[in-house]
Structure 1
Amino acid sequence: MIPIRLIIHNFRAIEHADIDLSAVSLAAIAGRNGAGKSSAFTIAPRYALFGDVISGVSLDDLVRRGASDMSVTFEFEHQGNVYRAIRTRSTKGKGKSTLELQKRVNGQWESRSAEKIVDTEAVIRNLLNLDDETFTASSMILQGQANAFTGATAGKRKEILSQILGLHIYEKLQECARQQASSLHIDIEKMKDKMLLLEERIAIKPIKEQELLLLEAQHISVLENIKQEETTIKLAETELAMLDTKKNRIEQINKELFTLDEEQDSLQKEKVVQSERLERAKKILENEENILEKSAELEKIQQQILSLETRKSELTRIQTDFLTSQTELQQLDDNLVQLDDRITKLQQELAGREALREQYECYEKEIVKLRDWEVKADTWNLLSAELSDISSKKEREESQYKLKKQRLTDRIAALEEQATHLHDSGCLPTCKYQQAAALALEELPKLQQILAALDRTEIDQLAVLIANKQMEQEALGYDYAAHRACKVQVDLLVEAVAAYAQLSSKEELLQQLKQQQHEKQNRKLMETKRLDTLQEQLLELEQSLAPLVELHAKVTELERWAKLKDQIAVAREIKVTATERLASIAKAISAIESKQFDALQERDRLMIDTLDYERIGTSLIHAKSLLQEQREQLTSLAEQIGGIKVILQAIELDQQEHNHLVSELEPKALRWTRYQTLIKAFGRDGIPALIIENAVPQLERIANEILGQMSKGKHYVRFETQRELKSRAGVTETLDILIGDWTSERPYETFSGGEQLRIDYAIRFALAELLAQRAGSKVEWLTIDEGLGSQDAEHRALVLESIKSVASRFKRVLVITHIEDAQAAFDQVIRFDNDDGGVEILVA
């Protein structure tokens, strides 16, 4: 993997940075503390690739303070292809994250992302063949974590080395072997259990054969009993069929008797109805004379009512006019009250005419003053805006002047310090540090001349211009408080001026209202007279219509007699027809009674013949029940016989399956033994241990090359992969670090802090190079974060030389440091100056 470009937006302290690393090979990362150097080169790439990479820090805490969205785009080359990972985070609402992996194909970016973020992260890990821990261990030496490998326990060191060597594949192989062995073990145990079950079922075969013989004998006996019962049932069913015919005739006779009863009831009911009709007709004919008199009286009363009803519409009209007149009179009273109120109010307003005139004259004077103040205020605001622009320009010029002066001063101080250190180092004239000192001495006079030539003329001119504008403002004589008081006074008088202007229109309105008042009073007198006339007419009509209620009541009583007038002719006809129908009904009833007697005689004879029906039926049911029991017993015996035959067939199949399982068990047991051997071979003490044993000498060789260069040949490193057990005989697997000098070997922990840092670097460089040689996950990038502070000048130079020597083995080497002489040792510098969120890349 080779980094190409890093685009950062609102990530931790960085507002925005677009860092192109395509032309960078070996560079120092410089800038003030808190500028975001470590965030950009150690955290941002890991966040883009692996997500949540800082323990105890949430993703929302990575968003720059004051912002709600952040993003990191990391573009890199891997195995000849160019990829980029784009990860974003928003704190809006419940928070939202996105991750996109893209590949550049023919100049275009194509997505290689999965549906979910966690699946896309798995795609990235599979592509790089690395997780965050291994990626960080191989490509970064983080601030304060240079001893992440050397300071770890022996077991942890071995685990890190296993990840670097890609030995996790053997864990997967071991897990696969375990799964296969477990599957085979389960199959073998199932086969054993199956064989035991089959043997138990095969053992019952003699017992089932004996049961089959007994059941077949019982089956033959039950068949003979069934034949005898079937003969008995046929005889009983024949006798019962004859009796059923007689019972059916009894039921038919009962139905006939029921029909005759219904006919007789119907005739009796009709006889009652005809008798009632005859009786009513006789009564109507007896009262014929009275009915005709009442009908004539009804006609006279109806004519009187018709005459009175014609006057009811006139009563309704007068009542409506009376109510309308009352309403209009009430409305006139309300209008007069409202007019009195408005006239009184206008008279009061016109009484204050003189006071309003004085306020109007005062308003005219104040409005002239206000216009003069507003002209001065406009001029004052224009001058204030000009002063603000000139002041801002002066502040920018002063800021740029101070920044230029500070940069020149810092550069001169750094060159002077570099020259002083290099004069004291004792290096040969051909040494790179000595040559750098000479160049620094040449550059110092030029920088000092530039510092002396810095010009403040424009800043002074702007200061004079600011003073002139301030004097011009003072000469205006503008008083904001007086301006404000004048405006308040004008606002207070506006309402009075408006009232004064309306006085003439209010006098005209007062005359109009008085005219309306006079007209409405005249209308009120006329409406009062009209209401009195309507009331007299209303009383007269009500008295003339008073008898109408009594006449209506009498009509209701006479109408009952009038209805009987039309029924007199019908009553004469009913009297004749009803008499004839009653004689016919009497003959029909006599005939029905004769038929009922004959039917009852026949029914009694048939009931005597069917007295034994219940006994024969009960015997037949009992016989059928016995037959059903015999048949059920026969079916049960057949099922048992069939079941035993099925069991015997199954036992035969079980015997065959048992023989087949015996033949399969032996090869499966052999395969299970072989998988157990593979599990042991793929374990830590198997093939991975052999690979580590072979890799440790290579790691030791690379580390000693670098450590010898750092310590001028004083120190070397040796790894021990086995240690003798103290409690018992034998050895255990380990990864101890021993450091040797010119006198003896000692553990890593017994050396000083500076010596430990050089040892840490040597081993970390060796681990990074070892990982770079791995096929399929080659990381050709190394970042070192603030690792030179604990070294003196001499050993710092040795460490820098070691970094440069290691740089040839990587495509990108980035060193984050705040030490200026260390920064000067690099040809390329990436400088962080993020006062405005920007990042500057300088290549010397």
Structure 2
Amino acid sequence: MTEQSRATQQAIIDNSAVILDGRAEIEEKVAEHKSLLKHELELAGESALYSSKKQEAENLARQVDAEQKVIADLQGAVQTKWDEKNAMILNSANDGEVRQKAELYTRKKTELDEMQEKAVVYQKAKTEHAAAVFRHDEITRKFDTEKQSADEQKRVLEKKVEILSESGCVDIDHAHCKFLQDATSAKEELAALDGIYADIASRRETELAKTSLEVDEKLSVMNEVEFDAEALSNLQKECATLLPYVSQLEDIKQREGKIALLEADIKHLQSNILEAEIRLAEAKAEGMTAEKERDRYAKAFEEHVKVLSSITTLEPWLEKEKQLPVAEERNLTAKNRVLELTEELKDIDTDIAEKQAEADKELLAMSGMEELTGIVAKMNAEVEDLNALVKEKQMEIGALQQKADQSARLKKEITSLQERQLGYSDEAFDYETLKAAFSQSGVPHQIIRSIIPQLTATSNTILGQMTGGKMGVEFRLERLQKSGKEKVSLDIFIEEYGKSVLPYLSKSGGEKVKSSLSVILALAEIKSSSAGIQLGMLFIDSWMGMEYRHTVTHWRPSRADIAILRLWQLPMIRP
């Protein structure tokens, strides 16, 4: 170890000697480095100005490019806007005609609305006039019926009175035979018929005078409306012809708005172009100034770069200068250490000789220790076996503990799953309850079943009024299948006087539409009654002139107590 240390110290001496031998060159390079640092300080200011002006010139050049690109983009956008504006102007050649047509449509639409209001008033007056005429005709028929009844009674009485002239009885006034008494009574009744005829004529004249006055008043009201169906039709046709010009006028307004926006955009873009051109001119002027100043400091910058490169090249010599004192100290220290290690080697050789003599004596004493060493080795082997067995048992205990933990965790999961199962069972029961409630035998069916009697009664009342009591409607909620089981359904059957009850689909078109209309009106009546709506009058428009191909399509209230039911020629509804 001491020999190795002495060799190490000798290597240190040799290395430090190499550094110390180059002292003159190191000092020369360090002096040159100091001179260059001084010159670099002199050039640093002008070099910094060069870098600053170069960066400024580059930034201004990029700004010039950016402004030129902005101007080009803005000019392209202006051209695009001009093209769009010119295209819109070309499309506005017929705007004058469109405006005239749209204005004409507005006037005609106002006239049409007024005429339609007159049509409603006229229809109401017409209906009232028809009702007055109907009442007048009813009264006429009533008195005609009374007169016919009196005429029939008169003929019967005249026949009875003829018996008196044909009987040949001498004292007819005091006759006691039964048939002559009857004839005598008939003679008296025949004499009283003149008064009945006079009463009928008097009442007929009075009541017909009232109804005629009412008919004339209703006719006068109807004529005062000054409704012209042909004018209404012509206005509708004109409005239908002029209606497209309204949308075209809207397009014109939108186009004019777009043109105004385009003009505003063009002005804004032109303003932006002017601002960009000003910024471009300023950037170019500033760029030229920055380039001139940059070129003025370019030579100083190049010289500064060379000086910095030389300084970088000489920096290792500064480290070598710092190593000179260290090398001197290490050289001196290493030489002193070599002398010390030489003395230590001599002392070590003496100690080795003494230790060798002692070692020879110890060898003799160690020969009896080999047997004890074998016993200790055997005991160590047994201890290792026991340690291995303990580790094995500890591993088994750990595995069992892990299984116990896993079993506890599984029990918790089973409990959680059972709770979830109970929750799902309750939810499934709720769904089954809802399923049963909304099935064919559930709440909807019960609602339908509860309203069927009222619907049947109302429908039959309406249908009876429409057909003079000859037709009726029956709703059946169960259908007997071929297997003999009853199935929940909703079938409609039509009853007709003198005929068997037949399904709805087997009846003719006219019978279907009457029954369908009665059911629809019944539903409307039930719904309005349940909602608290009271309708005072119902008008049915376009009923018998449409070949029975009708369905209800529109309810429109004309007044608070009147509803107008419009029927259009559409496919027959099916239940």
- Return the TM-score normalized by structure 1: 0.27
- Return the TM-score normalized by structure 2: 0.37
